[in-house]
Amino acid sequence: MPARRLSAVESSTLLQALEAVPDPRHRRGRRHPLQSVLYLALGAVLAGADSWAAVADWAAVTDSDVLVCRRPPHASTFRRLLGRVDVTALEAALTGWVLGRRDAAAAEAAAAGGPLAERRTVLAADGKTLRGSSRADGAQTKLVSVYDHASHLVLTQTPVGDGDEIAAFTTALSTPPPYRPCPTCPGS
């Protein structure tokens, strides 16, 4: 599937989903809403930004359909704020948004008809070692991801603990549940 920009509706629903992430900052002195900073950081990373400065540079030149900030945050704002965000809450918000997009696409495909084979759910599990990452013990971070081929989306990922990829795979499939059977597909 070729890369494309998010529509205004998709951007708005993403911003709404990001509202579920608690803001770790004190109320006083906030210049940028948390969901705006997260939205810009996500867009920058997906565009290839690999440093705080690159994230800030991308945020300064992006021409989004949805206005999220009058002036983009500085690189140090991204660094400080993203370092304090509740990763579990962020992942849950993004997973919910992704599953909502997937369900909407599945409903569209079901309404359009077509062969059942094209509407089936096909998931793949894959393990990866994150390059440049390290845990407190010096080992690299390893993840197991579940990928939906029909929607081209990573539905969830789980860290591998003590080298046990089977346990991580079981956890990835159960929390949050990435697989929802298609109501119109037999045998799913």
The tens digit of pLDDT for each residue in 132-187 reads 777 778 888 888 888 887 777 777 788 888 778 888 888 887 755 444 444 433 33
Region 35-61 average pLDDT? 92
Determine the structural domain holding residue 160 and report its residue range: 87-174
The phi and psi torsions of 45 (rounded to 5 degrees) equal -65, -40
Residue 18 pLDDT: 95
Q: What share of the chain is helix, strand, coil (3-state, %, to 5)?
A: 45, 10, 45
Q: Find where tokens 């298609």 sit.
A: 182
The total domain count for the chain is 2
Same domain, residue pair 47 and 103: no
Give, in order, the Cα–Cα distances in Å from 59 to each of 38, 54, 74, 86.
Answer: 11, 8, 9, 22
Is the same domain home to 138 and 63?
no
Does one domain contain both 105 and 68? no
- Assess whether 77 and 135 both reside in one domain: no
| 97 plus 50 within the same structural domain | no
pLDDT given at position 68: 73
Same domain, 156 and 122: yes
3-state SS, residue 1 = coil
Q: Is residue 180 part of a domain?
A: no
Residues 124 and 103: their CA atoms lie apart, in Å, by 18
Residue 187 falls within a domain, yes or no? no
Please indicate, yes or no, if residue 132 is contained in any of the structural domains. yes
| Count of helices and strands (H, E) across the chain | 6, 3
Q: Do residues 170 and 92 both lie within one domain?
A: yes
136 vs 25, higher pLDDT:
25
Q: What is the mean pLDDT of the chain?
A: 81
User: Is 142 contained in some domain?
Assistant: yes
Note whether residue 13 is domain-resident. yes
**Do 18 and 53 belong to one domain?**
yes
How far is Cα of residue 82 from the mean position of the Cα atoms in its chain? 14
Phi, psi of 10 (to 5 degrees): -65, -40
Q: Do 96 and 73 share a domain, yes or no?
A: no
